[in-house]
Amino acid sequence: MESNEFYFCSLWTEHLKISNCADILVNEKLTQDYFFNRLTNMTCRDIGSAIDECVRIFLNKGTNCYVYVTDDNRKLESILLKKRFTLVDSMSVLRSSISNNIEYDNKIIDVIKIDGDSIPIWVDVFCHAFDVLDWKCEVERIIKSHFKELTLLLSFLNNKNSIPAGCAALFNRSGLIGLYCLGTLPAFRGQGIATKMIKVALGIAQRRQLNFIFLQAFANEGFISFYNKIGFQTLYKKKIYAFLKE
């Protein structure tokens, strides 16, 4: 799962290596984001120097430096606190078996796998769902560049106007399928759109003969209990620390 997550995020970012012992993923055009922008895979003996280099790179690009810390890595957490990093959020990684029979089938919601012609619609829904309208040009560039590596889903309200209401992306790598970018437009939240897209994603994973899908959820967004309610189990958590630019 960590490998799948890393390679998905690398599609959206520039990948830099620090002393062959840590990876930086950074895209300064994705402002204030700490899912794609991060220092990760750290195996350095001199952790302090690697963190200092990471901070320098991120600040030179005009963005905050984010570091993910697993619960058992007390040493890294201690060093980050000494270097004036701030705890900004935590992220849970959750998994659901494909045998999870979500009891939900709203007939007025359609979910489709899009073709290349529908990329602008998917991008528009994504940017509005996550309130990142200033990312629009960059997201469209990324999605067009990596379209063949992704399975992009759009949900529509099944009426005469076929109004787009939600989006998601599936990424199959390392023998696993991750569900990313699951979002619903504000006007349509609470109507079961995310649940329907998850149900469709489970069906896609099953047809690909995979055993489960996984996703990530930030504590600050408040959706972890929703995922637990529909059958996802929390596997582990990571704390997210930031060195904030002044």
pLDDT in tens, 159-168: 656 889 999 9
Place 104 in a pLDDT band, splitting at 50, 70 and 90: low
> What pLDDT is stored for residue 16 in this prediction?
95
Most confident stretch, 125-129, 162-166, 172-176, 242-246: 125-129
Model pLDDT, residue 159: 66
Give the integer Cα–Cα distance in Å for 81 and 191: 41
Q: Write down the pLDDT at residue 157.
A: 87
Residues forming a β-bridge with 240: 68, 89
What is the per-residue pLDDT for 125? 97
pTM for the whole structure = 0.94
Residue 110 has pLDDT above 60, yes or no: yes
CA distance 181 to 164: 15
Instruction: Among 82-86, 88-92, 98-102, 165-169, name the one with the lowest average pLDDT.
Output: 98-102
pLDDT tens digits for 17-52? Answer: 998 899 999 999 998 899 999 998 888 889 999 999
Among candidate residues 240, 195, 231, 242, the one with its CA nearest the CA of residue 89? 240
**In the prediction, which pLDDT does 32 show?**
87
Quote the tokens at residue 64: 């905050």
CA dist 149 and 143 (Å) reads: 9
Token readout for 104 is 């939900």
Specify the pLDDT at position 197.
94
Cβ 91 vs Cβ 216: under 8 Å:
yes
Mean pLDDT value across residues 49-62: 93
| Torsion (CA) 206, 209, 212, 213 in degrees, nearest 10 | -70
Which amino acid is present at 102? I
pLDDT at 105: 67
Q: Does the pLDDT value for residue 132 go beyond 70?
A: yes
